[in-house]
Amino acid sequence: MFERLKQLGAVSRAEFILPNLGSLVLGLAWGANRTIDLTSLIILLVLSFSTINLSSVIGAQMNTYYDYELDMKDERRKLLVSAEESFGRSRLRLAFIVEFVCAFVLVSVFTVTRGKPILFILWGLGIFLGWAYSATPLRLKSRSWLAPASLFLVLAVFPVLFAYFSFTSTVEPLFLMSLAGLTLTVYGVIIPTETRDYFGDKAMNVETLTVHLGLVKASFLGIVFLSAGAILTVTSFLLKFMYDGHLILALFLLSIPVAVLIVLKNFRTLYILSKKFVQNGEQSSIADEIVTLSANNPRWIMLVTQTYSFISVLLLVSKFLL
Each residue's pLDDT tens digit, 266-290: 999 999 999 999 888 878 889 889 9
Total domains present in the chain:
2
The verdict on 3 and 148 lying in the same domain is yes
Last residue of a domain, one of 135, 153, 168: 168
The verdict on 143 and 229 lying in the same domain is no
Question: pLDDT (tens digit, 9 = 90+) per residue, 196-242?
Answer: 888 877 877 777 888 888 999 999 999 999 999 999 999 999 999 99
The verdict on 153 and 269 lying in the same domain is no
Last residue of a domain, one of 117, 150, 168: 168
pLDDT for the residue 19: 66
The verdict on 33 and 140 lying in the same domain is yes
Find how far residue 76's CA is from the centre of its chain.
21
Phi, psi of 124, rounded to the nearest 5 degrees: -60, -45
Weakest mean pLDDT among 90-104, 155-169, 190-204: 190-204
Phi, psi of 133, rounded to the nearest 5 degrees: -65, -40
Alpha helices in 67-116 (DSSP H): 68-72, 78-87, 89-114
Task: Give the Cα separation of 234 and 241 in Å (integer).
Answer: 11
The verdict on 43 and 156 lying in the same domain is yes
pLDDT for the residue 193: 84
Tell whether the model's pLDDT for residue 316 goes beyond 80. yes
The verdict on 160 and 208 lying in the same domain is no
pLDDT for the residue 2: 67
The answer to whether the peptide bond before residue 159 is cis (omega within 30 degrees of 0) is no
The domain containing residue 27 runs over which residues? 1-168
Average pLDDT over residues 59-82: 79
The verdict on 162 and 176 lying in the same domain is no
Weakest mean pLDDT among 10-24, 88-102, 245-259, 263-277: 10-24
Task: Give the Cα separation of 276 and 293 in Å (integer).
Answer: 14
Q: Is 143 helix (H, G, I), strand (E, B) or coil?
A: strand
Last residue of a domain, one of 168, 195, 210: 168
The verdict on 145 and 193 lying in the same domain is no
